[in-house]
Amino acid sequence: MASNEFAFIDRLRLLATDEAARGLDDDVAVIGELVLTHDMVAEGVHFLASDPPASVGWKLVAVNLSDLAAKGAEPLAALMGVTLRQDDEWAEKFLEGVAAACEAYGLALVGGDTIALPPDAPRVLGLTAIGRGGDVPSRSGGKAGDVLWLVGTLGDAAAGLELLLDDREAEGPLVEAYRRPVPQLAVGSMLAPYATAMMDVSDGLLLDALRLCTASKCGATIDLDAVPLSRAYVAERGSDRRNRLRAATGGDDYALLAALPSGLDPLGLSLPSGTILACIGTLTDGEGLKLFDAKGEVPLPEQLGYEHRAQNG
Amino acid sequence: MASNEFAFIDRLRLLATDEAARGLDDDVAVIGELVLTHDMVAEGVHFLASDPPASVGWKLVAVNLSDLAAKGAEPLAALMGVTLRQDDEWAEKFLEGVAAACEAYGLALVGGDTIALPPDAPRVLGLTAIGRGGDVPSRSGGKAGDVLWLVGTLGDAAAGLELLLDDREAEGPLVEAYRRPVPQLAVGSMLAPYATAMMDVSDGLLLDALRLCTASKCGATIDLDAVPLSRAYVAERGSDRRNRLRAATGGDDYALLAALPSGLDPLGLSLPSGTILACIGTLTDGEGLKLFDAKGEVPLPEQLGYEHRAQNG
C-alpha cells in the first residue's frame, strides 16, 4: 500500500462514522446479520496480464471470500464490477473463473456493472461479497494473553509471483497459490465464535499482525519457527530464518490470523481434515511486534508486508 | 454499451440464477428488505479527466442512488472501490464530493478498497449502494394500458457533455447536470408502491423505455412533445423534433421512468414541490416503441440511447 493510500484511507475514516463501518478497521461492514466486503483486483497490481483470465476471476471472488472467512460469515451473494476491453475471449474465460469460485463456495452472483475501457487501460475488477454472519469477530478484541493461531501456510503466493516475474511460463503449486487462493471459510466459521480477534492475512503476516495489535491496543510476540510453510515453499526457498521472514512478509496468502483465549485449543474442534493450523505466538501488553526463533530475538525487517505496487504486466 | 458488453452480460445472466439477481434485468438485487446496486464510473467514459474531482465523487454516489430511487429504496450504506494515482489532491477533492452526496442523501460509507494504479491508467471508481426497500418495483411488471410517467428533464447532461467536449472550460446548468446528477429519491419512494414497473433513465429514454417494454413483454407509445425539457436545454438547443429526439436519446439523465395503472394520477400524490413529472405515453400490446408528436408519427432514430464509449480525457 503506497503512502497516499494510507492518507486517503485516513480521510475515508473521517467519513465512515457509521457503526456498521467498524471504523474501516475491519475489512468488512456489518449491517444486521449481513457482513459485506468490497475488494478489487487490478492488472499489474494483483495479477499479471499474462495470468490465465479464469484464475483472475477465481482470485477476485476468493480474496473477497477470504474477508468473509475472517469474520466467520457464510457466503450469500455478490455484485461485480468489470472493466471490459475489446477481447471477448479474456472476459469469457474470466467469467468461467468467477463462476467456478461462486459454485465452489455457494456465492450467488446477483448484480453489478460493466464498463468498456480503451485497450491500453489496465483491467480493474471489483466485487462486493455479502455473507451471513453470527458471531462476527473484529480486529480489535484481542487481549494480552490471547494465543495467536494461523490457518494456512505463508509465503507461497509471494514465491509464486516471484517465479512468474522471472518467467511468465512458470507453473506449479507456488504459482497456483498466487493465482488461485483458497478462502478459509470452513475454519473461519468454526473459529469465529471463539476468536477475540480475527482477520485474513493478505498483506503479509507481520504487517497484518501489527494491524491486529494496533486495533486491539496490545502487542504480540511471534515465533518465526512456528510459521507454517508448505513443502513447495521449503523446496523452493528453504526454511532458514531469512526465508521464514520472507514468508512472514510476503503477502497474498489469504491465511487467517485468529486470537483465541489461552485456555482454548482449536485443535480440539472438529476442523476439516487437512486444515493447517499453527500456534504462532501470543498477544502481550504494550505495543508492537517481537519476533523470535530458536536462535533468539529476530530483528523486525524494514518492510513488514507486501505493498501493492504496479508490476509490469 | 458496446456489443461485447452485451455478450458479456448475456453470459453473466447464465450465472445469475439466484432469485435475488432478478435476472440482472433490474439494475438492483434484492436480499430480504435490502436493495443493492453496483455502478462504476470511469475516466474518459462517464467523466472527463478535466471534470472537477469533487463532481466525480458526487456523480459516483448519485448514479448509484438513482438506481435505489428507481426501486423506491431508502439509502442506507455504501462500499466504495477507488483507484488512486500519485496525486493526492485529486483524491482528496474526489472524497469531498463523495462526502457531500452521502451527507445530502443519508448514505453511510461503511467500507471498500483502494488500489494504487500507474499514472497513465484511467481512474475507475466503483460503489455498491445498499438501500432499504418496501415495495420494490421491477422493470417487468408493466402492462398494456399502464401510463408512462417521467420524473425530471431529459437531455441536459448529454448537452452539457457536448459543451464540455467542445470547451473543457464550459459552465452552466447543462454542464452541472452532466457533472452532478440528482437522484430522484423522494419521488421514487412515493411512486414505488403504485408503479407496476419503474427504472431510472440513464442511457437515454428511448433505449431505457424499450428495455422496460422488453422486460414487461409489451410495447409503448411515446409522445415526444410531452418529454420534459429544461429551460436551459431549450435555450441551448431549442425544442424542435430533432432536439427533442436528441433529448430522448442522450443518456446520463438519471430521471425516473414509471409505469402506473391508468386510473392513478401521481399529480394527486403529495410530491415534493418542484417535482417535474410528465405523462409521456402508454404501454401497449405488442412490442417495441412507437413515437409520435403533434405532426404525426416520428421514425425511431437509429440509435435509441447513449453508448458509454471512451472520450478523450
pLDDT (tens digit per residue) in A115-164? 989 888 999 999 999 999 988 999 999 999 999 999 999 999 999 999 99
Q: Give the nearest partner residue to B113 out of A20, A38, A122, using CB atoms.
A: A38
Amino acid at B276: I
Residue A309: closest C-alpha in chain B: B116
State how far residue A234 is from chain B, nearest Cα, in angstroms.
Answer: 31
Determine the Cα–Cα distance for residues A152 and B305; give it in Å rounded to an integer.
50
Q: What ipTM did this prediction achieve? A: 0.90
What mean pLDDT is predicted for residues B150-166?
96
Q: Do A113 and B126 touch (CB under 8 A)?
A: yes
Measured between CB atoms, which of B20, B88, B121 is closest to A121?
A: B121
pLDDT digits (tens, 9 = 90+) for B63-116: 999 999 999 999 999 999 999 888 778 999 999 999 999 999 999 999 989 998
- pLDDT > 90? residue B26: no
Q: C-alpha angle A91/A92/A93, rounded to 5°?
A: 95
**Partner-chain contact A15 B44, CB within 8 Å:** no
Task: Determine the residue type at B218.
Answer: C
How many secondary structure helices (H) and strands (E) does chain A include?
9, 12
- Give the amino acid at B296: G
Which runs of consecutive H residues, i.e. helices, occur in B31-109?
Answer: 53-69, 88-105
A111–B38 C-beta distance less than 8 A: yes
Contact A113 B39 (CB under 8 A): yes
Report the residue from B18, B45, B77 with minimal CB separation from A18: B77
- Number of A:B CB contacts under 8 A? 222
| d(C-alpha B99, C-alpha A168), whole Å | 42
> By the 8 A CB rule, do A220 and A290 touch?
yes
The pLDDT value recorded for residue A310 is 45
- Report yes or no: B131 and B30 within 8 Å, Cβ to Cβ: no
Nearest chain A alpha carbon to B100: A15
With the C-alpha atoms ordered B177, B47, B170, B304, is the resulting torsion angle positive or negative? negative
Domains defined along chain B, listed by start:
3-132 (3.30.1330.10), 147-298 (3.90.650.10)
Q: Nearest CA of chain A to the CA of B281: how many Å?
A: 29
Model-level pTM? 0.93
CA angle at A136 for the pair A131 and A138, rounded to the nearest 5°: 120
Percent of chain B residues past pLDDT 70, beyond the cut? 96
Q: What is the percent of chain A where pLDDT is above 90? A: 80
Q: How far apart are CA A215 and CA A45, in angstroms?
A: 27
3-state per-residue secondary structure call for A207-244: HHHHHHHHHHCCEEEEEHHHCCCCHHHHHHHCCCHHHH
CA atoms within 13 A on the CB side of A232: 17
The Cα B199–Cα B63 span in angstroms is 12
Contact call for A99 and B40, based on CB within 8 A: no
Residue pLDDT, tens place only, A47-67? 999 999 999 999 999 999 999
Helix pair A3-15, B88-105: axis angle to 10 deg = 20
* Whether A37 and B9 lie within 8 Å, measured CB to CB: no
B128-142 pLDDT tens trace: 999 999 889 999 999
- Residue B313 in this model has a pLDDT that exceeds 50: no
First-to-last C-alpha distance (Å) of chain B: 18
